[in-house]
C-alpha cells in the first residue's frame, strides 16, 4: 500500500498545491516500485482547516485537486496498471461547512440531531468558561466543545472546531453515509481507509471522564470504542458490501489495543479488514504526556510492542505495517540515523525490519527514498493546525520558544508533509512555483531522480522488499517469532511455515555489532537480501539481512 498525500505529491497546474493530474502523471513511478494499492488522503471538497480531513462535500473533488473527471481518470489508469485505489473516508466528523451541519445549526431542523448538540453544564451560564457540557479535550488542543451563541448550545468536535462529530446514533446519518460510500464503490474505488473509525460510537449520556492536569479529559477510553461501535461497523460493512465485494477496509483506530483490534479485523465478524494502530508510535514521549513531551524510545520496547501485535492478530486479524504517514514524523529521522553517513543504510534497515513482518506494509510518499524530517527552524514555517495550536498553547503556558521548536522539529506532522522531492531543482520538481509548504532543503541530494540513478539507493531496496513479498508466501503467511527480545540494538525474528523459514536480522544502531549469540546457524542459509554488499561475520552499523534457512539450520519451534 502506498499512501499519497495529494496536497504534497505533485502540482501539475502551478498553483503551489499537489493535485490529481499530478498523481496521474506519476503512476509509472509507483508501478515500477511494485505498488499494489494506492491510498489517497482526502481530495473531497473542504475548507481545508485540517487539509481535507474536514469534508464539506463527500461526493465532489475540491477544485484545488482537480475535478471528478480527474479522479475517474486516476481510477481508470490505476486499474489499467493492475493497481487499486483506496479512498480516505472521514466518517467521524464533517466540516462545519457541510450542508448537513449548516442545517443542523437551526435547532428546529431535522438535521439538529445529526451532530452532538448539548446545552451548557447544569447551573452554569452558557458561553462562559467551564460551562461546556463535558470536560473532554480535543485531540488538537483545547476543549472538544464549541459554543454557538445563536442557539445557546454547544457542538462536539473531537478534532478542530471546524470538524463537528456526526451523531451515528441517528439512523438517517448512517444511511446517508452508507449511500454515499455505495456511490463511490459504483464509481470504481476498491476500498476505504476509515479515518479514526473507532470514535464513531460514544458512550451515552456524554459525561465527564477522568481529568488530566489541565482539568480536561484526554482519555480516549472515554470517547473511543463506544458500545455500538461493532454494530455500526457491521451495518456499514453489510450496507456498502465491504466483505461481500471484497473491498479493502482499512480502519484507523485511535489508541486501540490488541484484543479489540483482533475482534474488529477478524474476517468472520464482517467488520473491518486491516487495523492502523498506534501503540508502537507512542514510545517516544512521556507516557502520561502529549506527543510533544519528547523522550528517547528504547528498541526493546518497540520490539515488544510490534511482537505483541504480530502475535496478537496472528491467524485472526490483520496488521497494517507502518512507521510513517502524513501524521507522523519521518521514520529515518525518528528511528534511524539521518546523518549523511547512515541515512540511506538506516532507512533500508527500517524497511527490511518492517516489510518482512506479517501484515500489509504501508509506504508513505517519500519514505521509499529516505526523505528526512523537514528541518524547520522557525514557527512561521509550520502550517499544520495541530502544530500551530500546540505552539500557541505551549508558548502561552510559558514553554520557551526553543523547546517548542525542538518539539515541533521532532514531532510536527509537517515533517512528513513537505513536498515530495522529485529532483534537485529549486522547488524539488514538485511545482514550478513556491509550494504551499517549504520543500526540504536537502532535496538537492535526496530526491527521486537521484534515487533512480543510484542502483544502491533506498528506492531499489524497497523494490526488492516488495518483490520478495510478492514471491515468497512465507512473508504473508509465516508464523512470527521474535528473537533476542532483550537486545537493545539488534532486531531479529523468524518467519516460518512448514516448508520455509526466514531469518531477519537487523542492527538498529550506528555502531558495528558482533554476530549475536542465540541466532540460528546461517552457515548453509541462503542470503536473500542485505543492505551491505559484503556479509561479514558481524553486523556493520545499520546492516540488515534476510536469510532463508537451510533445512538443517532451522531451529525447532
CA triplet 231, 236, 237: central angle to 5 degrees? 100
Residues binding ligand TEU: what is the number (CB under 6 A)? 14
In the complex with ligand TEU, the residue whose CB is nearer, 355 or 411, is 411
**Which is it for strands 153-156 and 2-4: parallel, antiparallel or unpaired?**
unpaired
Query: Contacting ligand TEU (CB under 6 A), which of 19, 386, 414, 438?
Result: 386
Q: If phi over 0 gives left and psi between -120 and 50 gives alpha, with beta otherwise, what is residue 542?
A: left
256, 223 Cβ separation under 8 angstroms: no
3-state secondary structure string across 342-353:
CHHHHHHHHHHH
- The DSSP secondary structure of 85-139, one letter per residue, reads EEEEE--SB--TTSHHHHHHTSTTSGGGGGB-EEPPPTTS-TTSTT-SSS-BBPT
481, 496 Cβ separation under 8 angstroms: yes
218, 137 Cβ separation under 8 angstroms: yes
Interface with ligand TEU, residue 15, by CB under 6 A: no
Least distance between ligand TEU and beta carbon 138 (Å)? 10
In the complex with ligand TEU, the residue whose CB is nearer, 7 or 461, is 7
Interface with ligand TEU, residue 437, by CB under 6 A: no
Least distance between ligand TEU and beta carbon 139 (Å)? 4
Among all residues, which ones are annotated catalytic? Answer: 195, 252
In the complex with ligand TEU, the residue whose CB is nearer, 412 or 501, is 412
Query: Contacting ligand TEU (CB under 6 A), which of 89, 196, 248, 506?
Result: 196
Interface with ligand TEU, residue 50, by CB under 6 A: yes
Least distance between ligand TEU and beta carbon 191 (Å)? 16
In the complex with ligand TEU, the residue whose CB is nearer, 24 or 249, is 249
Interface with ligand TEU, residue 53, by CB under 6 A: yes
Least distance between ligand TEU and beta carbon 140 (Å)? 7
Interface with ligand TEU, residue 113, by CB under 6 A: no
Helix (H, G, I), strand (E, B) or coil at 153: strand
Query: Contacting ligand TEU (CB under 6 A), which of 4, 61, 78, 90?
Result: 90
Q: What is the side-by-side order of every strand in the sheet holding 248-252? A: 274-276, 248-252, 191-194, 84-89, 37-40, 2-4, 363-364
Query: Contacting ligand TEU (CB under 6 A), which of 139, 264, 362, 491?
Result: 139
Interface with ligand TEU, residue 143, by CB under 6 A: no
**Going residue by residue from 283 to 302, which x/- string records binding to ligand TEU, judged by CB under 6 A?**
--------x-----------
How far apart are the C-alpha atoms of 447 and 289, rounded to whole Å?
35
Interface with ligand TEU, residue 327, by CB under 6 A: yes
For residue 170, report the phi and psi dihedrals to the nearest 5 degrees.
-80, 115
- The DSSP secondary structure of 236-261, one letter per residue, reads HHHHHTTTTTT-EEEEE-TT--HHHH
Query: Contacting ligand TEU (CB under 6 A), which of 65, 159, 292, 462?
Result: 159
Least distance between ligand TEU and beta carbon 76 (Å)? 27
**546, three cell numbers:** 534476510
**208, three cell numbers:** 465527564
In the complex with ligand TEU, the residue whose CB is nearer, 256 or 466, is 256
> Between 401-411 and 385-396, two packed helices, what is the crossing angle to 10 degrees?
150
Binding site for ligand TEU (CB under 6 A): 50, 53, 90, 139, 159, 195-196, 252, 254, 291, 326-327, 386, 413
Amino acid at each position: 500500500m502506498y499512501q499519497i498525500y495529494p496536497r504534497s505529491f505533485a502540482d501539475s497546474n502551478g498553483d503551489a498545491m499537489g493535485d490529481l493530474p499530478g498523481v496521474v502523471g506519476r503512476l509509472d513511478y509507483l508501478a515500477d516500485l511494485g505498488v499494489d494499492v494506492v491510498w489517497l488522503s482526502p481530495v473531497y471538497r473542504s475548507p481545508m482547516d485540517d487539509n481535507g480531513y474536514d469534508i464539506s462535500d463527500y461526493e465532489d473533488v475540491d477544485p484545488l485537486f482537480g475535478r471528478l473527471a480527474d479522479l475517474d481518470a486516476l481510477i481508470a489508469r490505476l486499474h489499467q496498471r493492475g493497481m487499486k485505489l483506496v479512498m480516505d473516508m472521514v466518517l467521524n466528523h464533517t466540516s462545519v461547512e457541510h450542508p448537513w451541519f449548516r442545517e443542523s445549526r437551526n435547532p428546529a431542523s431535522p438535521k439538529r440531531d445529526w451532530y452532538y448538540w448539548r446545552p451548557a453544564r447544569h447551573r452554569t451560564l452558557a458561553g462562559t468558561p467551564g460551562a461546556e457540557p463535558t470536560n473532554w479535550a480535543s485531540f488538537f488542543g483545547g476543549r472538544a466543545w464549541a459554543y454557538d451563541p445563536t442557539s445557546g448550545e454547544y457542538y462536539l468536535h473531537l478534532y478542530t472546531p471546524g470538524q463537528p462529530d456526526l451523531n451515528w446514533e441517528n439512523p438517517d446519518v448512517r444511511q446517508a453515509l452508507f449511500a454515499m460510500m455505495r456511490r463511490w464503490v459504483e464509481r470504481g474505488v476498491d476500498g476505504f481507509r476509515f479515518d479514526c473509525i473507532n470514535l464513531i460510537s460514544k458512550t451515552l449520556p456524554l459525561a465527564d471522564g477522568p481529568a488530566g492536569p489541565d482539568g480536561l479529559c484526554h482519555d480516549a477510553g472515554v470517547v473511543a470504542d463506544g458500545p455500538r461501535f461493532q454494530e455500526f461497523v457491521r451495518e456499514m460493512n453489510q450496507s456498502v458490501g465491504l466483505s461481500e465485494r471484497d473491498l479493502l477496509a482499512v480502519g484507523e483506530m485511535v489508541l486501540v489495543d490488541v484484543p479489540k483490534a483482533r475482534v474488529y479485523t477478524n474476517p468472520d465478524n464482517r467488520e473491518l479488514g486491516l487495523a492502523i494502530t498506534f501503540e508502537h508510535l507512542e514510545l517516544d514521549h512521556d507516557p502520561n504526556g502529549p506527543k510533544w513531551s519528547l523522550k528517547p524510545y528504547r528498541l526493546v520496547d518497540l520490539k515488544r510492542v510490534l511482537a505483541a501485535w504480530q502475535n496478537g492478530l496472528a491467524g485472526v486479524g490483520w496488521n497494517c505495517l507502518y512507521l510513517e504517514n502524513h501524521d507522523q514524523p519521518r521514520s529515518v529521522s525518528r528511528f534511524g540515523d539521518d546523518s549523511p553517513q547512515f541515512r540511506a543504510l538506516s532507512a533500508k534497515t527500517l524497511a527490511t525490519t518492517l516489510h518482512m513482518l506479517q501484515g500489509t506494509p504501508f509506504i508513505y510518499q517519500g519514505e521509499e527514498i529516505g526523505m528526512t524530517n523537514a528541518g524547520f527552524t522557525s514557527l512561521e514555517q509550520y502550517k499544520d493546525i495541530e502544530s500551530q495550536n500546540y505552539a500557541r498553547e505551549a508558548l502561552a503556558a510559558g514553554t520557551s520558544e526553543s523547546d517548542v521548536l525542538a518539539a515541533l522539529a521532532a514531532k510536527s506532522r509537517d515533517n512528513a508533509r513537505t513536498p515530495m522531492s522529485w529532483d534537485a531543482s529549486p522547488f524539488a520538481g514538485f511545482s514550478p512555483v513556491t509550494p504551499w509548504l517549504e520543500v526540504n532543503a536537502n532535496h538537492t541530494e535526496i530526491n527521486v531522480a537521484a534515487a533512480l540513478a543510484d542502483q544502491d539507493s533506498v528506492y531499489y531496496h524497497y523494490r526488492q522488499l516488495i518483490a520478495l513479498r510478492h514471491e515468497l508466501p512465507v512473508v504473508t503467511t509465516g508464523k512470527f517469532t521474535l528473537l533476542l527480545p532483550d537486545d537493545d540494538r539488534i532486531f531479529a525474528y523468524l518467519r516460518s511455515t512448514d516448508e520455509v523459514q526466514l531469518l531477519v536480522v537487523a542492527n538498529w544502531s550506528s555502531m558495528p555489532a558482533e554476530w549475536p549469540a542465540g541466532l540460528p546457524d546461517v552457515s548453509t542459509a541462503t542470503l536473500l537480501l542485505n543492505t551491505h554488499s559484503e556479509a561479514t561475520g558481524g553486523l556493520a552499523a545499520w546492516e540488515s539481512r534476510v536469510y532463508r534457512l537451510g533445512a538443517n539450520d532451522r531451529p525447532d519451534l
